[in-house]
Structure 1
Amino acid sequence: MGTITGERMTSAMTRRDRVLAAVTGVSAGTAAGAAAVAYGVHPIAALSTVAAPAVALWALLCRPPSRRRLAPPVAVAAVLSLVSTFAVTPDRADGGWVAYGNLVEAGVLAALLAVVVRRSPVRHVLPAGLVVGAAVSLWTWPLLPSMSFLARVGAAAFWSLPVLGAVVVGGYPRWAERRGRGWVRDARRAQQLEIARDLHDFIAHDVSGIVAQAQAARFVAASAPEQALPALERIEKAGLNALESMDRMVRMLHDDTWTDGATPHGVDPLPGPEQLPGLIERFSAADGTRARLAVDPGVPDTLSRDVGSTAYRVVVEALTNVRRHAPRAARVDVVLAAVGEDAVEVRVSNDAGGNGQKGPATRWERDDRHGGHGLRGLRERVRVAGGSLSAGPRDGGGWLLVAVLPRTPGPPRTPGPPRTPGPVPVPPERDHDRCDHTHPAGR
């Protein structure tokens, strides 16, 4: 019903503007004929003089959508002006009609050109602009018969300035509107990428834990039913975490007061390094993998909110990849350490594929090279924060992921050439105080 009504309104607007154009054209022709008969004005001069004002009157009275079709009538009026300029000489006109008429035409055509540049399709703007530019620039040409050719060219160049002004007046708002649409499109794209990364970073981590626990519960349900109950409890907890993450994203999308650097009203702050112990505990309990967290004292308090959230996401992604690609890993080490006074290092390693085997690591490399949302999206997030990320198999077997982040967000780093996958040397352990968290399940 709504579509039919809209179509009728559109067709009604078209009929109205067509009737208005016909009435305006007939009125202009009548006025030109009356001037030619009453004052002896050349018919072409009279018609060209009223053509441009008639088109301008129609443009003022028509509906805004019809102004997109303004280029053809403006081009016709400009052609009539050119014909009048060179076909009707001043000595054949009465009382300087040609001079005054052409001056009026030039001003009205320049104003109409601004509307054409602003509203008409690009394919119509160029031909209409060329004709209008010629009509406005050359209207003084036959009025200067005693002047040299260079003087006439100078006069034409001077009268081309209104044409350039009309192009600027009509083109700048059009360019600004197009740029604004591009900003909106880029913002929507960035929001979509942010949602996709949040889904991958948080919800995928919890869902992968649910899958692992469900598989474990099914395996022990028949032989040891008492062990299935803790697995079901962990499934419930992971599901609640996933629901909380989704609820947070929905509230962020509904909140229109969210600005950079501020948390939306009613939305929990982004998780940061202070949530890492709980993350390690849940991971160890769900997978039975010995996970150890080592944090340099005081480091979490020195990180900005965005950098702390990025560090947390690095660990989440690394643990998710361990769960998906290295289920046989017996140990995972997570380290958050200071690097000088201005940076921190997040290092996550596992011992899967011992004795130099790189089965799981090879799958990680393949996923990264073929555009998975995991490492590729994480590398982009770290780069935007002003840091760098590297990942690859360790010399002694297993996988190592290292992210170096500034303590406060810096300018995005220019991405370098793709790194050729290869063994990553195991960095030596730092010999200073740390806050260690080893889940009891892994002791």
Structure 2
Amino acid sequence: LCPGTCLLVLVQAAAYRWAPRRVALAGGAVAAAATALWTVPLLPDASFFEAAGVAAFWCLPSVGAAAVGGYPRLMDRRRARAVRDAERAEQLRLAHDLHDFVAHDISGIVAQAQAARFVAGRDPAAALPALERIERAGLTALASLDRTVGALREPPPGTAHVADLVRRFEAEGRVRARIGISDGVEGALSREAAATVHRVVTEALTNVRRHAIGATRVDVRLTLDGGTVRLTVADDGASAMPRPRERGGTGLIALAERVRATGGDLRTAAGPDGWTLTVTLPASLASSPTAVPGGPPLEKTV
């Protein structure tokens, strides 16, 4: 009987490891009962408690088989869940990137199309330049898609990309856009913080185009003040709080979460002079030693 019991325990371990879950549980329960009760007929004079103690003792091999076979299975399930969670997080990050990097250009196309429709009825010839701008904005949107896919493999964008973003915003619309970058900011931003700055500026400029009624200018400033990098985006339009869309966009809530994840803070304010968005981020330990806290705020202007 002992070799048969050992073989039964090995079968139990194999079932807990590889058999379907329901089959493993049902078969394991039957095998555990058989292993525990095989000694009961050999003790006809034993009391109930003695028989129960012997049965409990012979349950230990089944418990060991469950541990030996079930633990690797549990680890496999946890690894599979971790992989699914990582894939889901990557999908969400890609969705955020597609919105933040591409929606800005799509909103430019929409704005140009609206302007063309407005002037086409009165002066069809005036619609031609708008159509040309729509074509350029469409090509820019395709380039943004390529950059978004490439961003999954390449380092995140830095302040040079932010300056290019502001230039394209001004070229695609009627709002005058300016950017000022303080000396030392580039070295004071970590890779994650630089990507966050790029994303915040993209979302802020998109909101200016969508929500800043009558805006004529927007100023983007990056300044270094001691151990803090401050980003300010201000426009002179009659702004209202951007309304969250039912689907698609990440919006200010997601931006605030991303900024907090990098140790910073995001604040917005609407006043008589327009809308202002302010982000503060901790400076990286690798910041440039030549950066002067409180120095000239606009050493480089685009």
Relative to the length of structure 2, the TM-score reads 0.82
The whole-number CA distance in structure 2 between the counterparts of 1:217 and 1:435 is 36
Q: 2:180 aligns with which of 281, 288, 294?
A: 294
Pair 1:301–1:291, CA change in 2 (3 A):
same
SS in 2 for 1:333: strand
User: What amino acid does structure 2 have at the position aligned with 1:348?
Assistant: V
Q: 2:183, 2:299 within 8 Å by CA — same for their partners in 1?
A: no
Task: Note the C-alpha offset of 1:227.
Answer: 8.2
- 1:325 match: 211
Pair 1:331–1:249, CA change in 2 (3 A):
closer
The whole-number CA distance in structure 2 between the counterparts of 1:108 and 1:141 is 20
Task: Note the C-alpha offset of 1:282.
Answer: 1.9
Mind listing any 5+ residue stretches in structure 1 that lack a counterpart?
A: 1-100, 264-268, 354-359, 410-429
Task: Note the C-alpha offset of 1:303.
Answer: 1.3
SS in 1 for 2:63: helix
- 1:352 match: 237
User: What amino acid does structure 2 have at the position aligned with 1:195?
Assistant: L
Is residue 403 from structure 1 mapped to residue 248 from structure 2 by the alignment?
A: no
Q: Which has the larger radius of gyration?
A: 1
Q: 2:189, 2:284 within 8 Å by CA — same for their partners in 1?
A: yes
Task: Note the C-alpha offset of 1:204.
Answer: 0.8
Task: Note the C-alpha offset of 1:376.
Answer: 2.8
The whole-number CA distance in structure 2 between the counterparts of 1:321 and 1:437 is 25
The whole-number CA distance in structure 2 between the counterparts of 1:160 and 1:247 is 62
Q: 2:99, 2:249 within 8 Å by CA — same for their partners in 1?
A: no
Count how many residue pairs are aligned between Structure 1 and Structure 2.
294
The whole-number CA distance in structure 1 between the counterparts of 2:112 and 2:245 is 26
Pair 1:344–1:276, CA change in 2 (3 A):
same
The whole-number CA distance in structure 1 between the counterparts of 2:69 and 2:40 is 27
The whole-number CA distance in structure 1 between the counterparts of 2:210 and 2:300 is 23
Is residue 435 from structure 1 mapped to residue 298 from structure 2 by the alignment?
A: yes
| Identity within the alignment, % | 48
Is residue 277 from structure 1 mapped to residue 154 from structure 2 by the alignment?
A: no
SS in 2 for 1:367: coil
Pair 1:370–1:246, CA change in 2 (3 A):
closer
Q: 1:390, 1:401 within 8 Å by CA — same for their partners in 2?
A: yes
Deviations 1:384-438 (A, max 9, x none): 33333233x42435322222223359xxxxxxxxxxxxxxxxxxxx974022677
User: What amino acid does structure 2 have at the position aligned with 1:347?
Assistant: T
SS in 2 for 1:118: helix
Pair 1:122–1:337, CA change in 2 (3 A):
same
The whole-number CA distance in structure 2 between the counterparts of 1:324 and 1:239 is 18
Task: Note the C-alpha offset of 1:147.
Answer: 6.7
- 2:240 match: 361
- 1:54 match: none
Pair 1:275–1:181, CA change in 2 (3 A):
same
Deviations 1:246-278 (A, max 9, x none): 22444567xxxx5xxxx3xxxxx4322112222
Task: Note the C-alpha offset of 1:228.
Answer: 4.5
Is residue 334 from structure 1 mapped to residue 220 from structure 2 by the alignment?
A: yes
Q: 2:36, 2:59 within 8 Å by CA — same for their partners in 1?
A: yes
The whole-number CA distance in structure 1 between the counterparts of 2:231 and 2:246 is 22
The whole-number CA distance in structure 1 between the counterparts of 2:150 and 2:195 is 18
Pair 1:438–1:328, CA change in 2 (3 A):
farther
Query: How do 1:37-436 residues align onto structure 2 when only pairs under 5 Å count?
Result: 101=1, 103-144=2-43, 152-220=51-119, 223=123, 225=125, 228-229=128-129, 231-250=130-149, 263=154, 269-341=155-227, 343-353=228-238, 360-362=239-241, 364=242, 366-367=243-244, 372-391=249-268, 393-396=269-272, 398-408=274-284, 432-435=295-298
The whole-number CA distance in structure 1 between the counterparts of 2:265 and 2:225 is 13
RMSD: 3.2
My pick for the range that moved more, 235-244 or 106-115, is 235-244
Deviations 1:169-207 (A, max 9, x none): 221222122222212211221121122111111111111
User: What amino acid does structure 1 have at the position aligned with 2:240?
Assistant: A
Pair 1:252–1:289, CA change in 2 (3 A):
closer
The whole-number CA distance in structure 1 between the counterparts of 2:184 and 2:18 is 60
The whole-number CA distance in structure 2 between the counterparts of 1:234 and 1:336 is 29
Deviations 1:290-335 (A, max 9, x none): 3232222111222122211110110000000111122422232222
The whole-number CA distance in structure 1 between the counterparts of 2:116 and 2:261 is 41
Pair 1:378–1:115, CA change in 2 (3 A):
same
Q: 2:117, 2:127 within 8 Å by CA — same for their partners in 1?
A: no
- Flag the structure with more relative contact order, 1 or 2, with Cα contacts below 8 A and sequence separation at least 6: 2
Task: Note the C-alpha offset of 1:368.
Answer: 7.3
Pair 1:138–1:309, CA change in 2 (3 A):
same
SS in 2 for 1:361: coil
